[in-house]
Structure 1
Amino acid sequence: MTVLKDTQQLLDKLKNAYKKNDLATGKTVLGQIKIKLIQLPAVPPNSDFSSPTAQQELLLARDVYEHAVLLALKSQSEAALESSFTQLKTFYADTRSVLPAAPQQWMFAGLNLLRLLVANRIAEFHTELELIPAEGMTVPHVASAVQLEQWLMEGAYNKVLAAGKSLPPECSFAVEQLSATVRDEIASCAEASYPSLKLADAQVLMMLASRKETEEYAKQHGWAIEGDVVHFNKAAAADATAEQHMRLINHALLYAKELERIV
């Protein structure tokens, strides 16, 4: 019982650190909790569900693993995300006979879909999607991941960029990364298509919030600004065209390979 009580106290510290965005403390406390969890008989891999406190131990551990995922999302650590999602999925599967369904299971499934989408792991995305039942598909996090994947496949980049405000806050990590990728894709197309654009038109095209943000983005890409006009570098435009062609070829080959794996 002492270990269980100590673990609960550490979990409270983890939740507090998460709320305060104290990621360093959160990581330290999480490591301490995992050492404690090994000592609890009901928690996998021990899985002694005959323990008199089995359900209490498992509910606590499930809460820990869910917060481990949330902490990894805030840390934007791909390695920690991979590990945390794997542990959480295994825990959900191994405790079905003892615990009621987790209230937030499909929310975390949606976050996992978004992670796979950002990493362009399309085959795994669709494999995980097939495991989600009908009731899970209506959860905003899952529905958002499916919608974003559809827009990306359609090339509706403007919808991806505009999606941020309508998505659940936990999805912000994916939207930021997808938006950066999509905006760079639009920039490459603009370089290849136009010698120059009015600064206001470039701002609208890239869906940037202000003139200042547009000017900073232009500097990052080596574009020249004269008055209210953005001039694209012609040599860069030629390189962008070739790069875009190679990217399209690579995407097509990758997509074909992923489809083959799914089938």
Structure 2
Amino acid sequence: MAEHEVKQVISQLHSLKVSNLQTAPKLLSKAKLGLLHLNALVPDDKTSPAHLLLATTVLEQGALLSIRLKDTDAFTRYYQQLQPFYSLPANRWSRTGKPANQGKVTGLYLLLLLSVGDYAGFHTVLEGLETTGGKEQLENDQFIQYPVRLEQALMEGSYDKVWGETKGERVPSEEFGVFSEVLINTIRSEIASCSERAYPSLLIANAKNLLFLDSEGAVVQFAQSRGWLAKDGRIYFPQQEEENMAAEKDVMSSTGIVIENTLGYARKLETIV
């Protein structure tokens, strides 16, 4: 396959509509085969700048389309294939420009790590980016800063901030929006764990706001999945052992503050809506 044929496939990938997304893997395989024939699928000293850019364009399209297809395994593979290109020195790109979507793909990978709770991997990637690109460059990249803000909010227990960041104009691109439900599930899990330690029970109406659920029926369903008891308009949490309760007194106090703050935010949000 000649270079112009790879470019034709790239053009087809760019023009794919939502209804045709399932054809993307086949087109991407065709483009990667073309890169292999051009000896450009893995960069080396002989790879021309034009072929470097061609390869990163294909692989970045593969990564972004994988997110839209909700295939995180494929996305991870594309991210890994892009790393040899992203680690090339700046002078290898001087004639053709740098990869167009490096920040977006990297930000999405950080968000993926965050959504599965891999905080160690998250910070490892972030530290590597700071070493190679510098702190100032990271601070100016909206795609990197988005998962950074989310991680900081999660670490602070500011679940209302995470909720707010996953809505509307704060999401930097369509691909990032795919992770919204995953992150909300992460929030629910965090708040649920805190609630179990902080309270013996909660009103179902309060739990609805607290857990960002749409209905009281959804609260009951969620409660059942956690092994909680829903009875007489309240959610009852499993009782803690007395010795554990004493040890967790300080944790319970701080968690209670977080929950009260989140409840207050949720009530305000409900009022606005």
Cross-structure match for 1:206: 211
Alignment partner for residue 63 of structure 2, among 50, 63, 69? 69
| Correspondence list, 1:167-178, <5 A | 167-168=171-172, 169-178=174-183
In 2, the alpha carbon distance for the partners of 1:12 and 1:203 equals 46
Asked whether 1:161 is paired with 2:166, we answer: no
CA distance in 1, matches of 2:218, 2:45: 54
Instruction: Tell me the residue number matched to 2:110.
Output: 113
Deviation at 1:146, TM superposition (A): 1.5
Indicate conservation of the 8 Å contact 2:59/2:82, yes or no: yes
- For the pair 1:220 / 2:252, whether they are aligned, the reply is no
Q: How large is the Cα RMSD of the aligned pairs?
A: 3.0
How far the C-alpha of 1:145 sits from its partner, in A, is 1.6
Alignment gaps of 5+ in structure 1: 249-263
Cα distance, 1:46 vs. partner? 5.7
Query: 1:117 deviation in Å?
Result: 3.0
Corresponding residue for 2:96? 99
49 and 123 in structure 1: CA distance in 2 versus 1, 3 angstrom threshold: closer
Q: Is the 8 A contact 1:41 1:48 kept in 2?
A: no
CA contact (8 A) 2:59 2:78 kept: yes
CA distance in 2, matches of 1:110, 1:188: 28
Distance 2:66 2:152 in 1: 26
Inter-partner Cα distance in structure 1 for 2:61 and 2:162: 27
- In structure 2, the residue matched to 1:179 is 184
Task: Write out per-residue CA displacement over residues 4-40 of structure 1, whole angstroms, 9 at most, x where no aligned residue.
Answer: 23222322333344x3264542122212211111112
1:137 paired to 2:139: yes
Counterpart of 1:35 (choices 19, 33, 36) is: 33
Tell me how far apart the structure 1 counterparts of residues 227 and 15 of structure 2 sit (CA, whole Å): 44
- On the 8 A contact 1:186/1:206 being kept in 2, the answer is yes
Taking structure 2 as the reference length, what is the TM-score of the superposition? 0.72
Q: Call closer, same or farther: CA 1:232–1:43 in 2, change over 3 Å.
A: closer
Whether the 8 Å contact between 1:113 and 1:128 is mirrored in structure 2 is: no
Is the 8 Å Cα contact of residues 191 and 232 (structure 1) preserved in structure 2?
Answer: yes
Q: CA deviation at 1:96?
A: 2.2
1:232 to 230, 237, 251: 237
Matched residue SS, 2:197: helix
2:124 counterpart residue number: 124
User: What TM-score does the superposition give when structure 1 sets the normalisation length?
Assistant: 0.74
* Residue 147 of structure 1, aligned match among 146, 149, 155: 149
